[in-house]
Structure 1
Amino acid sequence: MISSPSDRRRPYFASAAVAVLLLTGCTANMPAQGQGTTAPTPTVSATAPAPAPTQTPTTPAPGTPAPAPAPEQLPVLPESNPVSFAIPAIGAGSDLLSLGLRDNGSLDVPPGDPGAPASWYNNSPTPGERGPAVLLGHVNATDGGPGVFADLRKLKAGDTINVLRKDGTTATFTVDRAEQYAKDAFPTQKVYGNTEGSELRLITCDGYDPNTGEFDDNYVVYAKLAL
C-alpha cells in the first residue's frame, strides 16, 4: 500500500465512511477502508506487451508554444513516527499515542480520561511525509474539563502546529482552514484523500446535543507543511 517511505499517497478511505469516536457519548461505529469490501485481484498478462510502433520525431510548426514542464512535487520529509505536538496559539500539546483500527474496523481513539493525550492514526502518513497525517484528540475530558483539542475552534489561518518526530526533527504545519461536518455526512475523501504535499488533519468531536448527551459532528482542522 506504500509506494515509498516518503510517498504514502494512498486513498486511505476513498470508498468507505469513517467514524471518529473521540469520547464517551461520541458514537457511530462505521467501517474504515476495506471493511466489507473485497479488493480486486490484479490481472497479470502471460505475454509481454507488444512494443510500441516506432515514430519519426516531428518538428513543431513555427510559432507552436513549447509544452509546459511537468509540475514539481512539493518537498516532504522522510518517514518518522510522531512523538508529540504543540500548538502555541492555543497552548495545546501532548505526547502522541500511536493507534490504528479496532477489531470492528472503527478508528481506535485515545483514552478519554482525563482527555489527553492525543493520538496519531498510524495508517496515515507520519507527519511530514506526503499525504494527510491524522491526529485525533478529545474535545473534553471524562471529568467534564477540557480535552486536549478543546480549543481547536480558536485556531486561525496562519497559526502553526509543531510535531516533534522520532528522528529529532520537527514538522511545522500552518493552519489553512477548519470545517465542521455531520458524522452521517462525513466527507471521507476530502479529509483522508491523497494530497500533493505533506498535510495534517486535527480531528475532534463537535455538535454536542444536550438532549442525547452525544456529539453529532466532527471538527476538522486542515494544515499544510510550512516550506
Structure 2
Amino acid sequence: VLTAMVALALSVAGLSLTPPALAPPTASPVPPPFVRLLIPAIGVNATIESVGVQPDGTMETPTQRPWNDVGWYNSGPRPGERGSAVIAGHLDRPGGNPAVFWRLRDLRVGDSVLVVDASGKALRFHVTRFIFFQPQDAPVQDIFGNTAGSFLNLTTCAGDWIPTQHQTARRLVVYTSFAGQAPAYTPTVTPTTRSQKGLSIAGTYNGSMYDEIKQQTTYISVFIKQSKGRADFRGTFTVTSPSQRAYPLHGKVDLQGNFSFTVQQPGGQMPLYFYGTVQHQQAVDYLHGYFCSSSTNSCSVNTGYFTVGPRY
C-alpha cells in the first residue's frame, strides 16, 4: 500500500526514478546514516532503513523488519537538509495487528519527531499539519518537492482496506518542520508519569510474543493488578506454551495509554522489558508493543513484538 502511493507520486511529479549520476569523489566526509526515528508522543522507537526504487518504479519497503522499521527515501534529501525528506512505515500487519505507524494519526500539531544518526546526533522536527487523501489525489509536490525549508514528511496508509485493489482507501501524511539539533538522545520509550495517575488497564490479557531474532512465537498471559487511577501496577507474566512458567511483573501506564513493564526472570537472567500502547478496538482493549532484554528499562534495539487481549 505504501509503494503504490510513492510510485504514483514520483511519476506524476515528473521526478526521476533513476538516481542522478554520482559526482566525482571529493574530500568531503560522508555523513553518518540516520539510524532511528523517535516519536515520544505515540511511543515510536524505530530503526530507519535506507530504501530506494524498485525496477518497476515503486518505492522499496523495509526488509530487515518490515512491520517495525521505517524506510527513508534515499533519492530525496536527508532529514535536516533543504527540501522534503520522506519516511514511510506500515500501518498494520497481515491480519490487522498494529505496525510501526499504527498511531501516526494520533499526532498533534507541535509534537516532536526526532531522527538520530549513527554518531548519536539527534535532529528535532515539530509537527505542523497533517492530511488524509485518496491515492489518486496525492499532493505530490507538497510531499516530495517542497524546497522552501527543511521538512520531514511521514506517511502511511489509512482508511478501510479494499480487497479488490489490495490497498487502503486513503493515505495519511504528517508534515513536520526542522526545529534544530536536539541534545544527544538515548532511545527509550518509557511513559512519562510525573503524576501518579494512569489509565486503568487492570485485567487478564492472553496472546503471544514473537522473537524476531529466533523467529519464534511464544504464547503468553499477562495479569495486571492496579489500584484505581494509579499509574503503577504489578502482576504476573505467564508463559503458557510450550511449557507453563509464571514470573512477577511491575510497570507504569500514563493517561494516554502508553505503558511499560519489566518481567523478572530466574537464574540471574536479564529482565525482559515490554513497552507499547493500549489499543482500543471494537469496544475491547488490547496491549500491543515491543520487547527486549534490558536492565535499564529501555530498548535501544527491539527483540520482537507482542499483542495480548482482549482484556477480561
1:49-92 CA-partner distances (Å, limit 9, x unpaired): xxxxxxxxxxxxxxxxxxxxxxxxxxxxx955311111000001
Tell me whether 1:124 sits opposite 2:76 in the alignment.
Answer: yes
Give the 3 Å change call, closer, same or farther, for CA 89–151 of structure 1 in structure 2.
Answer: same
Unpaired runs of at least 5, structure 1: 1-18, 37-77
Work out which of the residue numbers 173, 194, 204 in structure 2 matches 1:220: 173
Q: Match for residue 33 of structure 2?
A: 81
* Corresponding residue of 1:92: 44
Q: Give structure 2 stretches of 5+ with no counterpart.
A: 19-29, 181-312
Secondary structure of the equivalent of 1:173? Answer: strand
- The CA distance in 2 between the partners of 1:210 and 1:192, in whole Å, is 26
- Percent identity reads 34
Give secondary structure in 2 for the equivalent of 1:191.
helix
Q: Closer, same or farther in 2 for the Cα pair 1:112/1:144, shift >3 Å?
A: farther
2:115 to 159, 163, 176: 163
TM-score (norm 2): 0.48
**Aligned equivalent of 2:58, options 95, 99, 106:** 106
TM norm structure 1: 0.64
The 2-side partners of 1:176 and 1:29 are apart by: 25
Counterpart contact for 1:113–1:141, Cα < 8 Å: no
Residues 198, 224 of structure 1: 8 Å contact kept: yes
2:167 matched to 1:185? no
Partners of 2:168 and 2:74 in 1: how far apart? Answer: 24
> What's the offset of the Cα at 1:178?
0.7
- Do 1:131 and 1:195's aligned partners in 2 also have CA atoms closer than 8 Å? yes
Pairs within 5 Å for 1:9-24: 20-21=2-3
**Which of the numbers 14, 21, 34 marks the counterpart of 2:16?**
34
Distance 1:112 1:180, change over 3 A: farther
| 1:60-79 equivalent positions in 2, closer than 5 A | none
SS at match of 1:184: helix
Cα deviation, residue 162, structure 1: 0.7
Shift of 1:113: 6.3
CA distance in structure 1 between the aligned counterparts of 2:97 and 2:124, rounded to whole angstroms = 28
Contact 2:83 2:147 in 1 (8 A): yes
